Amino acid sequence: SAEKVNLTIGAYRTEEGKPWVLPVVHDAEVALANDTSINHEYLPVLGHEGFSKAATALVLGENSPAIADGKAFGVQSLSGTGSLRLGAEFLHSICKADVVYSSNPTWGNHKLVFLTGGFKEYRQYRYWDAANKKVDIEGFVADLEAAPEKSVILLHGCAHNPTGMDPTQDQWKAIFEVVKRKKLFPFFDIAYQGFASGDADADAWAIRYFVQK
């Protein structure tokens, strides 16, 4: 229970000092360890194709037009941080992007991941209105309006880290309009799909809206 979990350096532990994990994760680990039919050979360079297809469908939706038209695919990498790093290096080396914007505040690793991935400038857009405890959508949009063309805009798909406050659907529509008009590149980090609202489809609404448009 939550009352029995204490925060320690880099992990959650029970009162007995044992690492605490979601029961479903533990059950999956046990099932995998006892399944002798699993092939443990090296994966292809782009990862496990079945896993990547399932993850892509989870984010974009089973009936996504992008998937149906062959415009979407997945690449498996090592953790969320590894995925961000690959994305950053791809955008810098292939798309020649040098400027990235993230929300203020954001997850602590975002800045370092993009700068070590080759980006020359890391900037922030206004996001959190501390006085009124809400998303500063006016400041957010104004900062996007001032961003240079082809800037990468790092967006939290849901469960914004660290505030936990996400834009409304109408606010996402306003964000999309300026991103499209200013020719900015939206880069979604969606680490908590299903954990914000409890509905994986609802939590992916923003990404699916961008894809649809």
57-93 pLDDT, tens digit per residue, is 999 999 999 999 999 999 999 889 999 999 999 999 9
Give the total residue count for the chain: 213
Q: Specify the pLDDT at position 13.
A: 59
* d(C-alpha 117, C-alpha 104), whole Å: 20
Residue 99 CB partners (closer than 8 Å, separation 6+): 119, 120, 121, 123, 147, 148, 150, 151, 152
Q: HSE on the CB side for 66, CA within 13 Å?
A: 18
Q: What is the pLDDT along the chain (213 residues), one digit of tens a residue?
A: 444 444 333 445 566 776 777 888 889 999 999 999 988 788 899 999 999 999 999 999 999 999 999 999 999 998 899 999 999 999 999 999 999 999 999 999 999 999 999 999 999 999 999 999 999 999 999 999 999 999 999 999 999 999 999 999 999 999 999 999 999 999 999 999 999 999 999 999 999 999 999
Q: Specify the pLDDT at position 7.
A: 39
Q: Specify the pLDDT at position 15.
A: 66
Closest CA to 208 of 134, 147, 158: 158
Considering Cα of 82, then 86, then 89, then 95, what sign does the dihedral take? negative
Q: Specify the pLDDT at position 211.
A: 96
